[in-house]
Amino acid sequence: GAVFYHVFYHTMFGVNNGLMSGYSAKGDFKNAIKFAEKAMAQAPNDAAKKILEGQIAKLKEGKDIN
């Protein structure tokens, strides 16, 4: 139970983080924000959340995070 939950959420965090970067690189900031917000909900720690907050702010300004 707990181990699966932990691994699953870390994996989904990585997937959503990767999709955010990919959409940002293509200039599709709307979808990048969508996946950034999903990643935020799954962030494993405060440091990851702080990084995502900065990335989301840049995306909302229409700036690539890569």
Q: Global pTM? A: 0.86
Q: How many residues does the chain have?
A: 66
> For 4-16, what is each residue's pLDDT tens digit?
766 677 789 999 9
Output 7 or 17, whichever has higher pLDDT.
Answer: 17
| Mean pLDDT, rounded, of the chain | 92
Give the span between the Cα atoms of 51 and 3, in whole angstroms: 25
User: What average pLDDT score do residues 35-57 get?
Assistant: 95
Can you give the chain as a three-state secondary structure string? CHHHHHHHHHHHHHHHHHHHHHHHHCCCHHHHHHHHHHHHHHCCCHHHHHHHHHHHHHHHCCCCCC
- pLDDT value at position 39? 95
- Distance, CA of 2 to CA of 26 (rounded, Å): 36
Predicted confidence (pLDDT) at residue 37 exceeds the cutoff of 90: yes
